[in-house]
Amino acid sequence: QDRLLNALRRSKAPVGVFLMKGIRLQGVIAGFDNFSVQLRRGGTSQLVYKHAISTIAPGEWPAEVSLDELGGG
């Protein structure tokens, strides 16, 4: 989890974050810790608790993270 989030943060790739309630957030991962993810979009930031996240869908996968490593390839 941390490896993917860190790769997405470094690449500044846009991501879609789907919450457990079905809400979709979009932005760039600006940071994260053990409990939360900070999304930034258009000069505003949102703090999202990890337990509320269902899915993170990157626009494109960072080169340093393979789907095989994540169990999806």
Tens digit of pLDDT at every position of the chain (73 positions): 888 899 999 999 999 999 999 999 999 999 999 999 999 999 999 999 999 999 999 987 777 666 555 555 5
Q: What is the pLDDT of residue 61?
A: 74
Both structure tokens of 34: 């053990």
Q: CA 25 to CA 22: how far, in whole Å?
A: 10
Question: pTM score, two decimals?
Answer: 0.82
Q: CA 21 to CA 18: how far, in whole Å?
A: 8
Q: Sheet containing 36-41: which strands, arranged edge to edge?
A: 44-49, 36-41, 24-32, 14-19, 53-58
Q: What is the pLDDT of residue 57?
A: 92
Q: What is the pLDDT of residue 63?
A: 72
Largest CA distance in the chain: 35
Amino acid identity of residue 35, one-letter, is: F
